A and B are shown apart, each in its own frame.
Chain A
Amino acid sequence: MELIKDLPEVFEEFAEQRQKSFLAVKELKEKGVPVVGSYCTYFPKEIAMAMGAGCVSLCSTSDETIPEAEKDLPKNLCPLIKSSYGFAKTDKCPFFYFSDVVVGETTCDGKKKMYEYMSEFKDVFIMELPNSQREPGLQLWKGEIIRFKEYLEQKFGVTITEEQIREAVKTENQARQSLKKLYEVMKHDPAPIKGQDLFKVLYGSTFKFDRSLIPGEVDALTAKIEKEYAEGKMEEKKPRILITGCPIGGATEKVIRAVEDNGGIVVTFENCSGAKSIDKMVDEDAEDIYDAIARRYLNIGCSVMTPNPNRLELLGRLIDEYQVDGVVDMILQACHTYNVETNTIRKFVTGEKGIPYISVETDYSQADIGQLNTRLAAFVEML
């Protein structure tokens, strides 16, 4: 596939993917295709894909539904949890509305307790995610993945074969490979595109129902970026920033903008919109495919794990490969696990990697844009 459109247009199309998928999900439903909604990178989407279900990330990134959520949930809870619950309760999220089942995981305390309330008005399937990545945890998680498969089989009256699962694994691996190749264009210095534009594609791609279409579209985009780069089209040389921490999307894209409006460029994302959810593949040739899927997901370096060595491993690798000049750790207010972990990350980044680090705490409001700008402009100035 060769792209005829200009890059900015392509980026905008991806940015609009979420809205476009509102119609797509309705069409899926009309065709009788089951829809499985999820919130988290730990959701093993291959199992749902294996039965031909549409998988979709549910709305959780705007503050518009937070006041409604605060009727049931405490005020000083993470905005992502409040927003998710608020969208669900008010039925303002079309993806939620059309989901036959919502899959949640026992990640952080706030989420798992929130799912208890959500179950009162929606089919919610909770997967028990262990707190640590040791062998007993792996066995538990593998069991949960099988239990999820059996749940789907029973709910929808289908049989999910191992062959179908292997096929889904291949499809999703290919999508990951393509997205990975795309974000790797940022290894170039100067960078070929803005971090905001890369983000639009990474984020938009999570709303594509037909995962098998991703490689074609994304590879064409990557080829076009590389071609234009070779012809000399690129960003100015600027301090190269890695963003890590809590998931970014919607309201919190303000952090990416604050970096890029103030002289920096975001070259890579060590978070759930970026490398954290894309970097690792499922072993397609594994004898036990459930074991391979369980390992792949359990190894995600999220701060809910203790200890959490994989976050440092990925972070260190990205800092080196993307020639990062400074690390911005974005923490959502009241996200205890990422907030506590800032100290570990600071020590690792400034000590072991020898580059500056800043953590910024924010929420879904626009009230702190001035403060964010001052902090991040000062951070970029010191690089």
Chain B
Amino acid sequence: MNYVGIDIGSTASKVVVEGDKKEHFVLPTGWSSKETCEKIKNKLLEMGVDVTADDTKVVATGYGRIAVDFADHVITEITCHARGGRELAGGDCSIIDVGGQDTKVIVVQNGMVADFQMNDKCSAGTGKFLEIMANRLGVTINELFDMAAAGEVIPISSLCTVFAESEVINYIGEGKKREDIAAGVVDSVANKVVQLAQKKELGDRVILTGGLSHSIYFTGILSDKLDQKVESEEFGRFAGAYGAALLAREKKDRRR
């Protein structure tokens, strides 16, 4: 048997296979979730995993979860991240997920989602914010983080992405160092994430998932601001897809 978890995010689509085969890969979501689904299906087939076969169970999650027409189950990203995060942490924990358009904080107790919080209708504190600022500075998100690590924070006071972008443009105009602006950008995202996380009782262990989860620099800032250790996760980007794959296995006997 193979259990496939597919997490169609707003920016990246993540796939994890558990069971006879063990695979994981990531694709850009692009403009069409449907097309991405086709690509995933074909790529899995090349790996010898046929999503239409009886011995393959698929769980889809993420904002594009509805587009995965070959899924056996559709489960929200909250439940999938909680399941994947719990597995990565090896037990109960809180998960901070900074995604492309959503940032969420999930509290897992006794192996289950006990509480969660998502950002409002606003892109501040999400990957989208970083993407826009990185574009403005002419670097990739990874380069933005490298630059930020070498800079001194200059404050970006606006909580709105659009206004914050004009602040950044002003700083560029004033000839401020790119490193310092980058540090300001990352600091601003961290502040917004921490604001959200502080609304919840996080417990002893906190892990970071999503596209930034491998960044020790970012978890360091979050840890300082939260006054609590936030662990980075090498596989954190796949937490949702991994959770979906695990749930595919656990749900196999239940009806759709």
| Residues of A in contact with B (beta carbons under 8 Å apart) | 350, 356, 361, 367-368, 370-371, 374-375, 377-378, 381-382
Contact = CB atoms under 8 A, between A and B. Distances in A.
Contacts of A361: 120
A382 B79 contact: yes
Given A356-B114, A382-B78, 16 more contacts: A350-B115, A361-B120, A367-B121, A371-B121, A374-B63, A374-B78, A374-B118, A377-B76, A378-B116, A381-B75, A381-B78, A381-B79, A381-B113, A382-B79, A382-B113, A382-B114
B45 interface: no
Interface of B: prevailing SS: mixed
Contacts of A371: 118, 121
Contact of B113 (A367, A368, A378): A378
A374 B79 contact: no
A382 B112 contact: yes
B7 interface: no
Contacts, number: 33
Contacts of A350: 115
Interface of A, helix, strand, loop or mixed by DSSP: helix
Nearest to A375: B118
A378 B114 CA distance: 11
B97 interface: no
Interface of B: 63, 75-79, 112-116, 118, 120-121
B120 A378 contact: no
A367 B113 CA distance: 27
Nearest to A382: B113
A378 B63 contact: no
A370 B78 CA distance: 14
Q: Which 4 A-B pairs have the closest CB atoms?
A: A378-B78, A382-B113, A378-B76, A381-B79
Contacts of A378: 76-79, 113, 116
A367 B121 CA distance: 9
Nearest to B62: A374
29 contacts: A350-B115, A356-B114, A356-B115, A361-B120, A367-B121, A368-B121, A370-B63, A371-B121, A374-B63, A374-B76, A374-B77, A374-B78, A374-B118, A375-B118, A377-B76, A378-B76, A378-B77, A378-B78, A378-B79, A378-B113, A378-B116, A381-B75, A381-B76, A381-B78, A381-B79, A381-B113, A382-B113, A382-B114, A382-B116
A144 B113 CA distance: 49
A377 B118 CA distance: 13
Nearest to A357: B115
Nearest to A373: B76
A352 B112 CA distance: 20
Contacts of B79: 378, 381-382
B99 to A, nearest CB: 11
A382 B120 CA distance: 20
A33 B246 CA distance: 67
Nearest to B113: A382
Between A350, A370, A381, the greatest number of chain B beta carbons within 10 A of the residue's beta carbon is seen for A381
Contacts of B63: 370, 374
Contacts of B112: 382
Nearest to A370: B63
A151 to B, nearest CB: 43
Contacts of A356: 114-115
A253 B141 CA distance: 40
A345 B121 CA distance: 23
A367 B114 CA distance: 28
A361 B122 CA distance: 13
A86 B159 CA distance: 31
Nearest to A363: B121
A305 to B, nearest CB: 25
Contacts of A367: 121
A371 B118 CA distance: 9
A21 to B, nearest CB: 35
Nearest to B120: A361
Nearest to A350: B115
Contacts of B76: 374, 377-378, 381
A377 B116 CA distance: 12
Contacts of B116: 378, 382
Contacts of B75: 381
A375 B76 CA distance: 8
A185 to B, nearest CB: 28
A126 to B, nearest CB: 34
A371 to B, nearest CB: 7
Nearest to B82: A382
B92 to A, nearest CB: 14
B236 to A, nearest CB: 19
Nearest to B116: A378
Nearest to A368: B121
Contacts of A375: 118
A382 B81 CA distance: 12
Contacts of B115: 350, 356
Contacts of B77: 374, 378
B237 to A, nearest CB: 19
Contacts of A370: 63
A374 B114 CA distance: 16
Residue of A361, A367, A375 with highest tally of chain B CB at under 10 A: A375
A381 B121 CA distance: 22
Contacts of B114: 356, 382
Contacts of B118: 371, 374-375
